[in-house]
Amino acid sequence: MAKLWDKGFSVDDKIDKFTVGLDRELDIYLAPYDIMGTMAHITMLQSVGLLEKDELDALLVELKALYREACEGRFVIEDDVEDVHSQVELMLTRKLGDLGKKVHTGRSRNDQVLVDLKLYSRAELEKTIGKVKTLFEELQAKSEQYKNVLIPGYTHLQVAMPSSFGLWFGAYAESLVDDMSVLKAAWDVTNQNPLGSAAGYGSSAPLNRTMTTKLLGFDSLDYNVVYAQMGRGKTERIIAFAMASVAETLGRLAFDCCMYTSQNFGFIHLPDNMTTGSSIMPHKKNPDVFELIRAHCNKINGVQNTIRLISTNLPSGYFRDMQIIKEVFIPMFHEIDDCLDIAAYAIGNMEVVDGLMNDPKYKLAFSVEEVNHRVSQGVPFRDAYKQVGMEINRGEFEYHGTLNHTHEGSIGNLCTDGIKAKMDAVLGSFTFDKVHSAVESLVK
């Protein structure tokens, strides 16, 4: 099979296999977006006089059929074809002859893969954002449901002060708000159009890059054609950083859940059918779901570093090193989405234990409450602190008061609505509707 860059000589089979790498397998994920980018590009070419109207119409008919195949999972990259770009052009040429070869006018595979990855990442980011929202809502609901159920809070893994399930669930919900802000930054970097940068130095063809930006629903352009090419690797690293932020929240939640389900804590229970057993110990009910979430999230945290090691310190211009980034970047989306799905499911089915703070071993968690009670009676804080400390040392400490935490974000005032308002504000800043409208107009 001739290459798009064929100049009359064949490539050594070993070199060909090594340089193609996993492109055929991974480019399947990019196929709908490569076709979409081609539709926008040729629509622009016709507008600037580089294609005739009947040529555009014929090409769009075939491209829309290919797009449907790709969306339905029927698109195939043949064994002797290098990548998705080559496959699309080959199929157009088979159907339309030399007309199929015209779609590459003013383009390079460099800006094709750039736009493919941007469009793919944009779609995957939207999916992940939806799953973060689902987990957020589950945590918010649990926070309200169990806001009056107390648990011990810890510092240094030592019993510290009273907390509540409302605070615990709500803390992770608010953490996801900040993660969503990081995802918004990744969205903004992603949703810029590199198409038309060609091999990284533009084209003498009279391209209209503003037109393709609108056709593909991008918010803006990567204006400088050299920077557009330099964005390869950088964009993926920024997205991976955002995914790592979500993964950090998920991993920390998973660690808490592993600890809180253990017999020594016993704060929460998973239904039996959501645990696994031991091949030797008949009593075991293991929280494997949270252990695996934790491990996957640690793995996801490493993706940004892998991308950095591949792309950092490369000079301007394109280098084949970038191809390897796809091998860690594309699977990352599926991995984080699976973790978000299963975390929301597990949280939704989790049972909490009431009455934990009645256990005498948590009595000292109320020492600060007693100090504050004495302060309210006029005792200077440092004196009240010393009095309570000495009573603890003598084994005489008792606390019979009631909790009265009223400030914003405390046990008695979770500010659930305020946290939701912050999340709604971030979600409202995404330009999903604009993207959907543009894509719908282009492919239908």
pLDDT by residue (tens digit) across 286-313?
889 999 999 999 999 999 999 999 988 8
Residue 237 and residue 304 in contact, taking contact as beta carbons nearer than 8 Å = yes
Per-residue pLDDT for 386 more than 50?
yes
| pLDDT tens, position by position, 2-37 | 555 455 556 667 766 666 666 677 899 999 999 999
Q: What is the structure's pLDDT at 384?
A: 96
| pLDDT tens, position by position, 179-206 | 999 999 999 999 999 999 999 999 999 9
Q: What is the structure's pLDDT at 4?
A: 52
Measured at the alpha carbon of residue 413, what is the angle toward residues 408 and 418, in degrees to the nearest 5? 65
Domains of the chain are 13-105 (1.10.275.10), 110-145+164-358+415-443 (1.20.200.10), 359-413 (no CATH)
Burial class (CB in 10 A: 0-12, 13-18, 19+), 97: exposed
Q: What is the structure's pLDDT at 320?
A: 81
Band (pLDDT 50/70/90 cuts) for residue 273 is confident
Residue 248 and residue 224 in contact, taking contact as beta carbons nearer than 8 Å = no
Reduced to 3 states, what is the DSSP secondary structure of residue 179? Answer: helix
Taking residues 101-129, report their average pLDDT: 96
Band (pLDDT 50/70/90 cuts) for residue 283 is confident
Q: What is the structure's pLDDT at 6?
A: 53
Beta bridge partners of 413: 410
Q: What is the structure's pLDDT at 5?
A: 43
Give the range among 30-34, 124-128, 320-324 with minimum mean pLDDT.
320-324
Amino acid at site 257: C
Q: How far apart are CA 236 and CA 323, in angstroms?
A: 12
Taking residues 278-290, report their average pLDDT: 86
Structure tokens at 430: 């995404």
Q: How far apart are CA 341 and CA 131, in angstroms?
A: 7
Amino acid at site 200: G
Percent of the chain with pLDDT over 90: 84
Task: Give pTM, 2 decimals.
Answer: 0.92
Measured at the alpha carbon of residue 125, what is the angle toward residues 114 and 91, in degrees to the nearest 5? 45
Candidates 381, 371, 378, 379; CA nearest to 401 is 371
Q: What is the structure's pLDDT at 167?
A: 97
Q: Are strands 220-221 and 192-193 parallel, antiparallel or unpaired?
A: parallel
Beta bridge partners of 352: 268
